[in-house]
């Protein structure tokens, strides 16, 4: 049962423009986005801080952070959307996809740099702090702007995960599902 009914077209012009910019051609706006459109203020603020543009992290690095964060927080909706839209683009195979949900940070499918990003997510989700070992690994592979971006991504997708779970959003029919444990 949907807790808040999603907005339906026609959308306010600013919301319609944002949805056109963010959604791939031929895909209906996400249920999350349409639900957030019920509050133009929250919708606008969410997109203003979205971190979906090109930043200092590469797309693969960004997706590792997003998918691990959403998986660790049980947000199958958002995890599944990202896997469906980005896994192929960033070279994730079955091993990487599964490891974002079920694998330890040192799974063989990850590079040393990627393991540092996974440790960052796990530290922040589990302890809401970054341990010295994790910080040392991050600093060895990433500059300050990249580390700040990674921390901000974990925080942003923590919020997105709360929205998905708090709203009890049903999964998009085309999105990936969590792998079996």
Q: Convert the pLDDT of each residue in 52-83 to its tens digit.
A: 667 899 999 999 999 999 999 999 999 999 99
- What is the C-alpha separation between 78 and 71, in angstroms, rounded? 9
Whether 161 and 69 have beta carbons less than 8 Å apart is answered as yes
- What is the C-alpha separation between 51 and 36, in angstroms, rounded? 17
Supply φ then ψ for residue 176, to 5 degrees: -70, 160
CA 60 to chain centre: 12
Whether 104 and 126 have beta carbons less than 8 Å apart is answered as no
CA 49 to chain centre: 13
Q: Is 98 exposed, middle or buried (0-12, 13-18, 19+ CB in 10 A)?
A: middle
pLDDT for residue 49 is more than 80: no
Whether 52 and 156 have beta carbons less than 8 Å apart is answered as no
What CATH architecture is 59-166? Up-down Bundle (1.20)
Q: Is 116 exposed, middle or buried (0-12, 13-18, 19+ CB in 10 A)?
A: buried
- What is the C-alpha separation between 90 and 86, in angstroms, rounded? 6
Query: Smallest Cα–Cα separation from 21: which of 52, 60, 57, 58?
Result: 52
- What is the C-alpha separation between 21 and 44, in angstroms, rounded? 13
CATH 1.20.1290.10 location in the chain: 59-166
pLDDT recorded at residue 51? 65
Q: In the predicted model, what is the mean pLDDT of the chain?
A: 94
Q: Which two tokens stand for residue 126?
A: 């589990």
pLDDT recorded at residue 48? 76
Task: Tell me the whole-structure pTM to 2 decimals.
Answer: 0.94
127-150 pLDDT, tens digit per residue, is: 999 999 999 999 999 999 999 999
């Amino acid at each position: 049962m949907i807790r808040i009914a999603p907005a339906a077209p026609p959308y306010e012009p600013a919301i319609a423009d944002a949805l056109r910019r963010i959604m791939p051609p031929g895909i209906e706006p996400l249920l999350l986005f349409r639900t957030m459109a019920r509050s133009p203020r929250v919708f606008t603020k969410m997109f203003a801080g979205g971190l979906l543009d090109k930043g200092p992290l590469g797309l693969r690095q960004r997706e590792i952070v997003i998918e691990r964060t959403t998986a660790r927080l049980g947000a199958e909706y958002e995890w599944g959307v990202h896997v469906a839209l980005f896994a192929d683009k960033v070279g994730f195979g079955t091993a990487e996809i599964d490891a974002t949900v079920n694998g330890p940070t040192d799974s063989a499918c990850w590079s040393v740099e990627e393991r540092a990003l996974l440790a960052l997510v796990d530290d922040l989700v589990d302890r809401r702090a970054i341990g010295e070992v994790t910080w040392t690994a991050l600093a060895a592979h990433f500059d300050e702007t990249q580390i700040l971006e990674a921390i901000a991504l974990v925080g942003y997708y923590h919020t997105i995960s709360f929205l998905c779970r708090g709203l009890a959003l049903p999964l998009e029919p085309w999105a990936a599902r969590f792998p079996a444990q």
